[in-house]
Structure 1
Amino acid sequence: MRSYPIINVSADISAWQKPVLWMLASFTCLLSSCNKPADEVAPQTTTTSVSNANSTVDNWILENMRDYYYWNDKIPANPDTTLAPSDFFDSILYAYDATLRPDGDRFSWIEESADQLAAELSGESKTTGMEFTLYLRSSGSSDVIAQVLYVLPGSPAATAGLKRGDIISKVNGQGITVSNYASLLFGDISTYTFGLAQYSNQTIVDTDVTKTVTTAVFQENPVFLDSIYTVGSKKIGYLVYNQFVPAPNGSEGSEYDNQVDAIFSKFKAAGVNEMVLDLRYNPGGYTSSSANLASLLGKGVDASKTYFKESWNATLTPYLTKQYGSDFFIQKFSTKAQNIGANLSRLYVLTTDMTASSSELIINGLRPYMTVNTIGTKTVGKNVGSITITDDSGKIKWGIQPIVFKSFNSLGQSDYSSGFTPTVEVEEPISLYPLGDTREALLNVALSQITGSAASARQGISANSFKMVGSSIQRKAGGSQMFKPIKKLNL
C-alpha cells in the first residue's frame, strides 16, 4: 500500500478528503502510527526483556485500537500486554461467534511486517503467480487436490506452462492431504515441483506430468481480461477484475484504474448495451478503485450521487463530524466520460464464496440505481471496512488492519453480512474452460440470461461432487479486503 502526504486533523477537509483512496471491505487507512509515539524495540534475549518488548508493541496496538476499532467499546479493560503481539491483537478483538457474537469481527488482522502488508494490499507478493481451489479428492477421503483457477501472465507459473483447470495432486513428491496442504502449498518453500493429475470418468487420476516453479516477487495486475461478445442486437461487455488496486506497489498514481477507464472507453465506443462483470476471484481492495469502477457502470450516476456511506465508532464519529462535517462519511460517484450506464438496463456480476468486500460494495452500491443480478454462488458477506495502521517512526515494524467502519448504500442498506445469495446459482465444475470462453460455466449462464435462452434461474447448478476445503485467494492480503487509505489523524 502506498503512503500519502500527512494532514493534521485541523486541516481543511477539501485538502484531503476527496483525494483519499476510499476502498471498502478491507478499507486501509494508512494511519502511519496515528501520532502514537513508540519506543525503540531492540533485540531481546531474556524472558523479561521479551516481555517488555511485547508490552511496547502491545500498548501501541491497544492505544490505536481504542481510538479506531469499530467495536472499541468491547475491548477488555485490562488485557495482558505481555503476550506476543499477534496473540495480544487476537485477545482484544470482538471476535465473531455464530451464537454469542453474530455481529462480531471476522476480518481484522495483524502482520509482523508493515511493509509486507502494504505490498500485499497493492497486489505485490512472493508467489508462483497462480491461484487455486482446494478440494477433497473424493468423498470421505483425506487426500486433497489443488485446481488452478487462473495464472498471471508473465509469472513463474505461466512460464512453467501451468494453466487454468490444471489439477495438482503432489508437491515435491508428496501427496497432498488435509494435514499437510498448508505446509506444502503455503509454507516457506521457494521451488515447487507440482505433480499433475487429470479428471477422467468422474475420478481423479495421477499422471507422470510435473511442472517446476520457483517463486518470485511479482506484481499482479488486477485487470485480467476483457472482451466484447455480439449476439444479435446485444453488444455484451465482459471484464475479469481480480482485485481493487489503483496502481502497482510503490506508485502513488492510478495506472490500473486508468486501464479500467480505457476498457470502458472501448466498451462505449463499441456500443456495449449489456455488461458482465466477473468478480468471482476478487476479494476486495481499495474503495477508491471500487468507486471508480462503479462510476463507469452506474446508470444515471455522477459526482452528486452517493455511492456508499460509512458508520464509525461512537468515539470518533462526533470528533470527525466536528472537524470535517458529515461529508467525511460519504463516498460519491465520479462523473466519468467513459460511463456506459446510459446504455444498460441491468448488470450481471459473477460471484463465488471468494467474492468479498469492495466487490460486494459494487453490488450493494449500484442496486439503488439499476438492476444488479448475480450469477454463481453466495458471496463472503463483508459489509465492513478497515484501515492500515503503521508506526511512521519505523521503530515498531508491525502493521494492523482493524475494522473501523460499516458500509451502507444510498438507501441505508447494509443487510448482506451473510453474503449475497445469487440470482442464478451456478457452481464451478471440476472441468474448467478458460476465462472468457463462452462455454465457461458462469459466463455461459450469464450470456444465456442476457439472450433469453435460459429456461430456469437454477439451471446452471453443477453436479460437482468434490468438496471444497479452501482456496489460495482466501489468503490474499487477509482474504477479503475493503480499505481506505486516509491521511494521518492526530488525535
Structure 2
Amino acid sequence: MKRLLLFTFLCGGLLMSCADDMDDEVRDASYMEIADFIYRGMNEIYLYKADVPQLADNYFSDEDAYKDYLASMDSPEDLFDDLTVALDRFSFITDDYIELENSFNGISKSTGVDYRLYLFSGSNDIFGVVRYIIPGSNAEGTAIERGDLFTRINGESLNTSNYASLLSSPSVTFSLAQLNGNTVEETGEEVTIANTEITENPILIQKVIEIDGKKIGYLMYNSFVADFDGELNDAFGYFKAENIDNLVLDLRYNGGGRVSSATRLASMITGSNTGEIFAKQRWNESYQNYFLATDPDGLFDYFTDHIDNNVAINKLNLNNLYVIGTSSTASASELVINGLKPYINVTTIGTRTTGKSQASVTLYDGENFARKNANPNHKYAIQPLVYESVNANDIVVPYEGIVPDIKIEEELDSFGTLGDPSEPLLAAAISAITGKAQKQSFASKRMQINYKEFKERNALKPNYKRMYIDELPSLNLRN
C-alpha cells in the first residue's frame, strides 16, 4: 500500500507542506517521519541556528534536495548531531520520551546508590565511590554507605566499555574496596541490590546548625524538580520558623533541572525582590525579534512570591548566601548562583562548576511540537538548547564554570558525613560564616594513586545536567 508522508520544505523563511509517494524512497518511511520532525524542530528554535548552514531557511534548492539530505544520514541520532554545533555539550535526542519525562519528575531506575566513577590514569579501568544513599531505596539499610569504593560489578571489573550496562543491570552486586597507600584494594565484601523504579526527593538534608550563637540553615538539594517545589517551600518554612541567621545551600551534586524551580528557590532565599529581574533570556535571532515585537516581557524570569496554586513562598530575606558546588553542579544550580549575585552576597565553596548557561525544551513530533497527539509511530523527542540565560547585570555563567571563592576538594579518603559540621566542605562554609576554623573529623591523607573524574550516576539519566523550560513558547514563529 502506498504511504503518504507530509514533509516540510523551507523556502524564504516560509513553511510549505507537500506530499510525496514514498514507494520509490530508499529509506524506511518511519525514519523519514522522524528525520523530518528533527529538522523542523531544529530549524524552528535551535539557539545556534545561525551557526549551522544547513538550518538556513533557504539552504535547500528544492524539496528533493531536502529529502536527499535527510536520507543521507545513517540514523535520527546522526541527523541530530549534524544539526548541532561542536561547542554544544547539552542538546540531545532520545528515542524514549517517556523515560525522559520520568527523569524530569525525579523518577528513574536505581539501586539507590549515588556514585561517582573515576578513571585510573593511563587506563580504561574504573573504580567508583559512593556519594550518598537515597532514602527509601533498596540500598538504604544495606552494608554499603557513603565513602565506600567499588571496583567490580556483578563480578566484572569496571571499564569504560561496560560500566553503563553493568550498573544498569536488574540486580547489581557491588564488590567493595578501600584505599591502601597507592592502590585500591578489594575488601572481599559484596553487596547485592536490585535496580527498581524510585522517585527521589531532591531535598536530601535540611537541618539547623547552631555554632557560636548563630543559627545556620543547611539544605542539601540535589535536583530542580517542580513536583517537589511544595517540599522545598516547606523546608524554607522550617528555616523561617527557626529564624536562621545564614543559609548554606549545598548543590555539590545538583546537575540542574527546571527553570521555574530555580526561580522559586532564589525567591525563597531573598524574599524582597518580587517582580525584579532574576534572569534574562537570549534566543536565536528570529525568536528574539519576535519576543521583542510581541511580548518583550516574556524575555525575563522574575522573582516570584508564590509557587503552584498560588501558594505563598516562605521568604528568608537573606543578604548573604553560602553555596557548595563542584564539577557536578550545573545549569539551574549555576542559574541560582548567577541570578542572585546582583542582589545579595553569594560566597561559593568547593571546586569549579560545570559552566552551563543555556536552557532547553522538549520538542515532540506533534502539532506545534507539543506532547498532545504526538506521532504514535515513534517515541523520539529532541531537547535542543533554545536560549542563553544571563543575570540582571547581563553576566553569563562562564563556559569554564564558576570559580569558587573558597576552593576545597571533596577528597575520596576524607568524605565525612553529609550535614555534619565536620564534613570538609560544610566545615569550610561554616568557617566562612563564623570567621573561625572548624574542626574536621576526617583529615585527608591525599590519595597517592593517579585518577581523574569520569562519570557519575546521573550521567546515565536522559536529563543529565539539563536546565529546561516546561514547554515551547506559545508565540512560536509557525503562527
| TM class by smaller structure | 0.7 to 0.9
Return 69-78 or 410-419, whichever deviates more. Answer: 69-78
In structure 2, distance between residues paired with 1:449 and 1:36? 61
Equivalent residue, structure 2, for 1:338: 314
Q: Does the Cα contact within 8 Å between 1:386 and 1:401 map onto a contact in 2?
A: yes
1:63 has 2:40 as partner? yes
In structure 2, distance between residues paired with 1:394 and 1:153? 36
Q: Does the Cα contact within 8 Å between 2:356 and 2:397 map onto a contact in 1?
A: no
Q: Which sections of structure 1, spanning at least 5 residues, go unmatched?
A: 1-34, 97-104, 248-255
**Could you tell me which amino acid in structure 2 is paired with residue 210 of structure 1?**
E
Query: How big is each residue's C-alpha offset from its partner over 1:347-398, in whole Å with a ceiling of 9 and x where there is no partner?
Result: 1100010100000000000000111111111001101110011133332411
2:416 to 433, 455, 471: 433
- In structure 2, relative to structure 1, the CA distance for the partners of 1:349 and 1:274 (3 Å cut) is same
In structure 2, distance between residues paired with 1:47 and 1:418? 49
Q: CA deviation at 1:162?
A: 2.5
Q: Does the Cα contact within 8 Å between 1:227 and 1:238 map onto a contact in 2?
A: yes
Equivalent residue, structure 2, for 1:158: 140
2:297 to 314, 327, 334: 327
Equivalent residue, structure 2, for 1:485: 470
- In structure 2, relative to structure 1, the CA distance for the partners of 1:376 and 1:47 (3 Å cut) is farther
* SS class of match (1:442): helix
Structure 1 runs, 4 residues or longer, greater than 4 Å off: 35-39, 46-50, 139-142
Q: Does the Cα contact within 8 Å between 2:270 and 2:319 map onto a contact in 1?
A: no
Equivalent residue, structure 1, for 2:324: 350
- In structure 2, relative to structure 1, the CA distance for the partners of 1:300 and 1:461 (3 Å cut) is farther
Same amino acid, percent of matched pairs: 34
Q: Does the Cα contact within 8 Å between 2:94 and 2:462 map onto a contact in 1?
A: no
Q: Does the Cα contact within 8 Å between 1:425 and 1:461 map onto a contact in 2?
A: no
1:209 to 185, 189, 193: 189
- In structure 2, relative to structure 1, the CA distance for the partners of 1:287 and 1:240 (3 Å cut) is same
- In structure 2, relative to structure 1, the CA distance for the partners of 1:446 and 1:364 (3 Å cut) is same
Q: CA deviation at 1:51?
A: 3.7
Equivalent residue, structure 1, for 2:94: 111
1:94 has 2:85 as partner? yes
**Could you tell me which amino acid in structure 1 is paired with residue 239 of structure 2?**
F
Q: CA deviation at 1:299?
A: 6.2
In structure 2, distance between residues paired with 1:417 and 1:165? 30
**Could you tell me which amino acid in structure 2 is paired with residue 63 of structure 1?**
R
| Larger strand share, 1 or 2 | 2
In structure 2, distance between residues paired with 1:224 and 1:49? 52
- In structure 2, relative to structure 1, the CA distance for the partners of 1:326 and 1:226 (3 Å cut) is same
Query: How big is each residue's C-alpha offset from its partner over 1:50-98, in whole Å with a ceiling of 9 and x where there is no partner?
Result: 54322211111111111110111233245731221111101111121xx
TM-score normalised per structure 2: 0.83
TM-score normalised per structure 1: 0.81
- In structure 2, relative to structure 1, the CA distance for the partners of 1:172 and 1:461 (3 Å cut) is closer
**Could you tell me which amino acid in structure 2 is paired with residue 339 of structure 1?**
K
In structure 1, distance between residues paired with 2:199 and 2:238? 25
Q: CA deviation at 1:416?
A: 1.6
Q: Does the Cα contact within 8 Å between 1:357 and 1:382 map onto a contact in 2?
A: yes
Q: Give the count of matched residue pairs.
A: 425
Equivalent residue, structure 1, for 2:118: 135
Equivalent residue, structure 1, for 2:208: 228
**Could you tell me which amino acid in structure 1 is paired with residue 166 of structure 2?**
L
* SS class of match (2:461): helix
Q: Does the Cα contact within 8 Å between 1:427 and 1:464 map onto a contact in 2?
A: no
In structure 1, distance between residues paired with 2:208 and 2:300? 34
Equivalent residue, structure 1, for 2:247: 275
**Could you tell me which amino acid in structure 1 is paired with residue 108 of structure 2?**
S
Q: Does the Cα contact within 8 Å between 1:171 and 1:195 map onto a contact in 2?
A: yes
- In structure 2, relative to structure 1, the CA distance for the partners of 1:471 and 1:38 (3 Å cut) is farther
Q: Does the Cα contact within 8 Å between 2:363 and 2:472 map onto a contact in 1?
A: no
* SS class of match (1:353): coil
RMSD (Å), alpha carbons: 2.6
1:286 has 2:258 as partner? yes
1:386 has 2:360 as partner? yes
* SS class of match (1:261): helix
- In structure 2, relative to structure 1, the CA distance for the partners of 1:488 and 1:445 (3 Å cut) is closer
Q: Which sections of structure 2, spanning at least 5 residues, go unmatched?
A: 1-14, 61-65, 306-311, 366-371
Q: Does the Cα contact within 8 Å between 2:361 and 2:472 map onto a contact in 1?
A: no
1:237 has 2:253 as partner? no
In structure 1, distance between residues paired with 2:16 and 2:462? 25
In structure 1, distance between residues paired with 2:126 and 2:41? 41
Q: Does the Cα contact within 8 Å between 2:362 and 2:472 map onto a contact in 1?
A: no
Equivalent residue, structure 2, for 1:10: none
Q: Does the Cα contact within 8 Å between 2:233 and 2:313 map onto a contact in 1?
A: no
